[in-house]
Amino acid sequence: MTDSMRANILLAAKDLIQQRGVNGVSFQEISDAVGIKKASLYHYFSSKEELICELIGHCQDLYGEAYNKIALGKDPGIEKLSKLARLFEDGLEGGKACFIGMVGAERESLALKPQRAIEKSIQQILAIIQEIFEQGKRDHTIRCNADPSHMALMFLAFLQGGQLSARARGGKKTFRQMTNAMLEMLKVQG
């Protein structure tokens, strides 16, 4: 029982969920992906709920740090939105979509603990995007004619939904085209 096996399990589960969603992945498939018996998986995670909660926390740590780095940078607001979009574009590798978006789409089918974890994660992401919209409004680079919290929710929905649409039609190239169109609509014309 090694920490590297636990990390392999988390990575395999994350990849599978990003491709097929929480309910489309079983413990058996996760154990098959890492080459261990299903019973051995329970030595690392007592339940799928525990695994999902840990993955949500892991993604929040990993991507939250990247989102914060963008938000705290010196770029104008519109460029920060562009950088966020590139992170989502990169997430399309291998036919995947945002882990938080995939889990969030199945929120109602999850136990209470993962539901709360996903809600908390989405609120943290929205707070970061809202700050970028507020900055873009202040620095006159983002057209923000509505409440920045509503604009943040709209932009996150665009990024997550855009990934799903792009997976079905053209991948990264399609996502980049959609993003460019969205950013052009949000950009203050000089």
Give the start-to-end residue ranges of the domains of the chain: 48-186
Confidence of residue 91 (pLDDT cuts 50, 70, 90): confident
Confidence of residue 169 (pLDDT cuts 50, 70, 90): confident
CA–CA separation, 173 and 159 (whole Å): 14
In the three-class reduction of DSSP (H, G, I as helix; E, B as strand; rest coil), residue 142 is classed as: strand
Q: Which of 76, 107, 103, 71 is nearest to 87 (CA)?
A: 71
pTM: 0.88
**Is the predicted pLDDT of residue 144 greater than 80, yes or no?**
yes
What is the CATH T-level fold of the domain 48-186, as seen in this structure?
A: Tetracycline Repressor; domain 2 (1.10.357)
pLDDT over 90 for what percent of the chain? 70
Q: Is the dihedral of CA 71, 61, 124, 176 positive or negative?
A: positive
**Is the predicted pLDDT of residue 1 greater than 60, yes or no?**
no
